[in-house]
Amino acid sequence: MGETWVYAIVAMALSYLSGSIPTSVWWGKAFYGLDVREHGSKNAGATNTFRVLGPSAGIPVLLIDMLKGFAPVRVLAWWSGFPDDSAQFTWLRVGMALCAVLGHLYPVFAGFRGGKGVATSFGCILALHRGIAMICLGVFVLVFLLFRYVSLASLCAALAFPLATFLLDTEQHFVFRGFSLAIAVLVFWTHRTNIGRLLRGEEQRMRPSHGISP
């Protein structure tokens, strides 16, 4: 059992390191010669990458940011030795998910200046509960298509996560419910300036023309 808990600690550390991969920063520097944190909203996330560099950079950054959360939670937990239906297994997966999200927010590989955690959070949720992840994605897509605000769509999807967890899946472990609340709080916290701009009518809509040529 001692070795199992050592593995759990190592797995959570690896999850943090996975989340810490600064996809947008490395992609922008490698293929465009610029740091996205010095342009647009100055955020190291997929949305700002779309705005600054366009879909050719934004799409791969988005997918990799999702994978940073999905891969460790989906893969590493199965090698822990904990029974799949045990409380320890649930604690481990939720702990790894939270570490991956915190890694994206505060990446050790990029001076702890990260993104807002939406894509990586979605990857984690997808690994933990595919049905609830699809509900969050549906809410995001619907709100975005109606209003063209990525921030508003992200906030609504963040609210949908705990609501779906509490209302539609009563069998979920309380730790997963706590994780859903934590993610919602984190998303609202990282979007606090966006909330202010939304309330003032100053938030920028996402438009097809965003981006520059490589």
pLDDT of the residue at 88: 87
For 139, phi then psi, to 5°, come to -65, -45
pLDDT of the residue at 39: 92
Determine contact, residues 211/51, Cβ cutoff 8 Å. Answer: yes
Which residue stretches of the chain are H helix?
A: 2-19, 23-32, 46-53, 55-75, 87-105, 118-128, 130-147, 150-168, 174-190, 192-200
Work out the average pLDDT over 68-77.
93
Tens digit of pLDDT for each residue in 75-127? Answer: 988 887 788 878 888 899 999 999 999 999 999 999 999 999 999 999 999 99
pLDDT of the residue at 1: 52
Please state whether the predicted TM-score (pTM) of the whole model is above 0.75: yes
pLDDT of the residue at 206: 83
Tens digit of pLDDT for each residue in 141-195? Answer: 999 999 999 999 999 999 999 999 998 866 667 899 999 999 999 999 999 999 9
pLDDT of the residue at 83: 83
| Region of poorest pLDDT, from 37-41, 59-63, 83-87, 128-132 | 83-87
Closest CA to 67 of 91, 89, 46, 41: 46
Token representation of residue 203? 């938030």
Token representation of residue 32? 């465009």
Identify the residue with better confidence: 87 or 203: 203
Token representation of residue 37? 């944190």
pLDDT of the residue at 170: 62
pLDDT of the residue at 85: 79
Residue 44 has pLDDT above 60, yes or no: yes
Work out the average pLDDT over 27-32.
95
pLDDT of the residue at 32: 94
